[in-house]
Chains A and B, each alone.
Chain A
C-alpha cells in the first residue's frame, strides 16, 4: 500500500474527529431546521418584533386557492412553493417551512428535534475540543493549517488554479494549498466558535450568568439569527469542500480520510 508515491496524510485522530464531526454536523443541521420550523422567522435585537422580520417562511393561497410557499427576506417576497413554505405532495402540498427531507425527524416534532440537537451538540463540542487540543499539542495548527507569508502571497495564483480546476500534484500536493488553509481556518477559528456562542446565547440560564453572550450578538433574537446564518455558511463551506474533494480526486481524497494514505499522483494518473 505504502508505495513511494503515497504519503501518510491524515493521522488517526484527525480521521476520527473528522468522521464524528460529519455525523454531528448532519444531525445538528437537520434537527436545527426542525427546531426553526417551530417558529420560522428571524429577528434582530433582544425580542421578536413580529412586524419586523428579517426572514420568514410561510404559506399563502395562490389564485386557484392552492397553498403557496412564501419566503420573505426583509420586505421582499419570493414564491418558494415545493421547497420552502409548502412542500411534499405536489397537489395538496404540506405547509411547513423547511421540507420533511431536510429535517430530523421528518415530521413536525419539535421536542424530538430538540433532543437530537442537544445530544449531538454535546458530542460536537467534546469532539471539537478534542480536535482543538490535539491541533495545538501535535502542532497540526502550525505545521499544516497556518499559512506562511510566502503562502499568503500565492493567494492569487492559487485562486487562478482553483478556477481552472487545476489541482496540485506531486511535491505540491503534500501540503494544503493556501486557499484550503484559509477556508479551514475560517471554519475553525470563526464560524465554529461563533456557532457555539450563538447557541449558548439562546439559553436564558446562561444569559443570566454571562450577559456578555447577549451583548456580543446584540440580543437573544440576534443570536438566533446569527446561529441560522452561520449554519448555512457552514453548509456552504461543506458544499464547496465536497465539490473540491470530488474534483481533485474523489477516491484518493476519501481513502486518505479513511485510511490516512494519500496518493500524490506523480507515478501514474490514479488520482
Chain B
C-alpha cells in the first residue's frame, strides 16, 4: 500500500514537473508579447538608471586610451550611406551648405555651419565605443562639446532632454511616415565634458559610414545613443509625443532609452 501510494505520488510529481517545464518554456515565449509582463521587465531599466546614477558621479570621465589602442578597423553599424536625396546633395559639396539647427526650449535658436562649429574650442578624445551587440572599438574623436553649443543657445529651465534628428531614413516608407534616425539624451548627460559633436575621426574629416558631417559622442552609453548624420537639435521637456514616444529610433523598437549597460 505504501509502495503504491508512493508510486502514485511519484508519477504525479513527474507529471507536474514536466507540465511546469512545458508551461514555462511556452509561457516565456508568450510572456515576451504580453504587455503587462513586458512592462514589468521594463521596470528594470529605471532601477538600473537610478542605481547607476546613484553609484556614479555626474562628471566621471570614461577611460581615454592612447593612439596605440586605436582599432585598425572600426566597425560601422546601422546606416553607412544615407539614401536621403537632400543629404546626398549636401554631401556632394562637402557639406558646405549644411547647417546644424538648434532650437526648441532655448532662449536663442541658432544655426551653425560646419566652419562655425570648427571655430569653437574643440575637444579630442580616444575612447571605447561599445555596441549593444557586444563588440567594442576604439576611435579618436574631435569635436565641439555639446556644452559649448548649449551655452550659445541658452536652454530654458524646463528643457530636460536634447533631441538629435538625423538625415538617414531607417526603413522604406510608402505612407510618407518619417523613419529617419533620431535620438535623445538628458541634459545632465549633454553637459558631460566628453559629450561632443564630432566632426573628425582618427585625424580625418568624419567619413560617411561614421556619421558625416556631424555625430554625437556620449562615452558612457552604448553606441546606438550616439546619433550620426545630425541635422537638427531640439531641447524639449518630454519626448512622449515625438515619433514613437520612446526618445529614439531603436527605443521605439524596444531598446532601452537608458543605455548605460
A: which residues have CB within 8 A of B? 27, 30, 35-36, 38-39, 41, 43, 46-50, 104-106, 109-112, 114-116, 118-119, 121-122, 200, 202-211, 214, 220-221, 224, 251, 254
Contact = CB atoms under 8 A, between A and B. Distances in A.
B75 A50 contact: yes
Contacts of A30: 28
Contact of A205 (B52, B128, B132): B52
A129 to B, nearest CB: 13
Contacts of B253: 111
In order of increasing CB-CB distance, the 10 nearest A-B pairs are A205-B260, A209-B56, A203-B261, A111-B254, A39-B134, A119-B44, A48-B135, A39-B133, A209-B60, A115-B41
B219 A204 contact: yes
Interface of B: 10, 13, 28-29, 32, 38, 40-45, 47-48, 52, 55-57, 60-63, 65, 69, 71, 73, 75, 128, 130-138, 219-222, 250, 253-256, 260-261
B254 A112 contact: yes
A30 B222 CA distance: 22
A122 B134 contact: no
A118 B55 contact: no
A55 to B, nearest CB: 12
A116 B41 contact: yes
A30 B135 CA distance: 20
A208 B136 contact: no
Nearest to B255: A111
B28 A205 contact: no
A47 B60 contact: no
B180 to A, nearest CB: 20
B29 to A, nearest CB: 6
Contacts of A109: 32
Main secondary structure of the interface of A (DSSP, over half): helix
Main secondary structure of the interface of B (DSSP, over half): loop
B41 A208 contact: no
Contacts of A104: 28, 32
26 contacts: A38-B134, A46-B69, A46-B138, A47-B69, A48-B135, A48-B137, A49-B71, A111-B255, A112-B32, A115-B45, A115-B256, A118-B261, A122-B47, A202-B261, A203-B52, A204-B260, A205-B52, A205-B260, A205-B261, A206-B52, A206-B56, A208-B220, A209-B60, A220-B128, A224-B134, A251-B13
B256 A204 contact: no
Contacts of B255: 111, 114
Given A46-B128, A47-B136, A209-B57, A204 B62 contact: yes
A204 B128 contact: yes
A119 B29 CA distance: 16
Contacts of A110: 132-133
A263 to B, nearest CB: 12
Contacts of B134: 35-36, 38-39, 224
Contacts of A41: 135
A208 B221 CA distance: 10
A217 B52 CA distance: 20
Given A48-B71, A111-B250, 13 more contacts: A36-B134, A46-B65, A48-B135, A50-B135, A118-B48, A121-B44, A122-B47, A204-B221, A204-B260, A206-B261, A207-B62, A221-B135, A251-B13
A251 B11 CA distance: 11
B243 to A, nearest CB: 17
A207 B64 CA distance: 11
A161 B107 CA distance: 79
Given A122-B44, A203-B261, A209-B60, A105 B137 contact: no
A202 B65 CA distance: 17
A119 B221 contact: no
Contacts of A49: 71
A208 B132 CA distance: 17
Contacts of B73: 50
Nearest to B258: A205
A39 B130 CA distance: 12
B65 A119 contact: no
A46 B44 contact: no
A206 to B, nearest CB: 7
A27 B56 CA distance: 28
A252 to B, nearest CB: 12
A122 B219 CA distance: 24
Nearest to A215: B63
A115 B61 contact: no
A30 B29 CA distance: 12
Nearest to A268: B2
Contacts of A204: 62, 128, 130, 219-222, 260-261
B56 A47 contact: no
Contact of B44 (A35, A106, A115, A205): A115
A122 B40 CA distance: 12
A81 to B, nearest CB: 24
